[in-house]
């Protein structure tokens, strides 16, 4: 009987993640997802600037490959984080009330670090020659912070989380293409400002989630 009850509860929780996802996608969802993509893509933008500078004759095919790898990892990490949160914490409903606090702490920490690095002018974006392995390393290094975003979107069902990840990927792809073009033309002068902007956006999103979850939830 206890086993049957556990299976029924698990089924309810599972169906809750699948139902009602698309109906919850309002204008602010798309705005927040796009802003999240902009904030998370700033490190990839900075690296793209350097890649463009180092290869001024880079062909469009390789530019698309670089932007595509960055976009893939920026989408993968939030979904992986979302999966881990739901696998470990979905059965503990009390955990949900801590989500706004966790979002504020994680995004505040990531954004603050990006602000500090940007103001300090510490950019690890110089690349001598970009092979595929080096590109993969860049993609992982610039997206690892996005793993924590899985916690900030843990209230989403899988459909909303997937759409959010896809929006982040599309935004990242576009921003990286812009970074490559600018890097080929102007170099890395915008890299520090991009990191500062990305950090500010992440902090803003963390505050928005916190205020909505604590005072407006």
- What predicted TM-score, i.e. pTM, was given to this entire model? 0.67
Instruction: Choose among 69, 79, 16: nearest CA to 41.
Output: 69
Gap between the terminal Cα atoms of the chain: 36
Instruction: Choose among 36, 28, 6, 45: nearest CA to 142.
Output: 45
Give residue-wise pLDDT tens across range 117-169. Answer: 777 765 444 434 578 888 888 888 888 778 778 777 878 888 888 999 999 99
Dist. CA 189–CA 194, nearest whole Å:
10
Domain coordinates of the chain in residue numbers? Answer: 57-212
Give residue-wise pLDDT tens across range 52-107. Answer: 877 778 889 999 999 999 999 999 989 988 887 777 655 444 555 776 787 788 77
DSSP string, 144-184: GGGGGHHHHTTTS-HHHHHHHHHHHHHHHHHHHHHHHHHHH
Give residue-wise pLDDT tens across range 18-46. Answer: 444 555 678 788 988 999 999 889 888 88
Helix (H, G, I), strand (E, B) or coil at 133: helix
Dist. CA 213–CA 217, nearest whole Å:
5
């Amino acid at each position: 009987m206890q086993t049957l009850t556990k299976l029924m509860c698990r089924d309810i929780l599972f169906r809750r993640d699948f139902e009602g996802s698309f109906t919850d996608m309002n204008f602010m969802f798309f705005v927040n997802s796009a802003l999240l993509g902009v904030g998370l893509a700033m490190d990839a933008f900075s690296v793209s600037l350097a890649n463009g500078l180092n290869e001024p004759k880079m062909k469009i095919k390789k530019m698309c490959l670089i932007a595509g790898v960055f976009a893939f990892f920026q989408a993968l990490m939030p979904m992986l984080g979302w999966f881990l949160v739901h696998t470990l914490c979905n059965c503990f409903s009390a955990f949900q009330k801590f989500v706004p606090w966790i979002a504020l702490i994680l995004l505040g920490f990531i954004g603050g670090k990006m602000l500090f690095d940007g103001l300090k002018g510490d950019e690890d974006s110089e690349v001598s020659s970009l092979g595929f392995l080096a590109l993969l390393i860049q993609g992982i290094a610039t997206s690892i912070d996005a793993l924590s975003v899985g916690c900030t979107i843990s209230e989403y069902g899988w459909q909303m989380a997937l759409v959010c990840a896809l929006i982040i990927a599309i935004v990242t792809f576009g921003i990286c293409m812009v970074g490559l073009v600018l890097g080929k033309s102007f170099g890395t002068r915008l890299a520090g400002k991009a990191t500062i902007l990305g950090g500010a956006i992440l902090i803003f999103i963390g505050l928005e989630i916190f205020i909505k979850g604590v005072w407006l939830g």
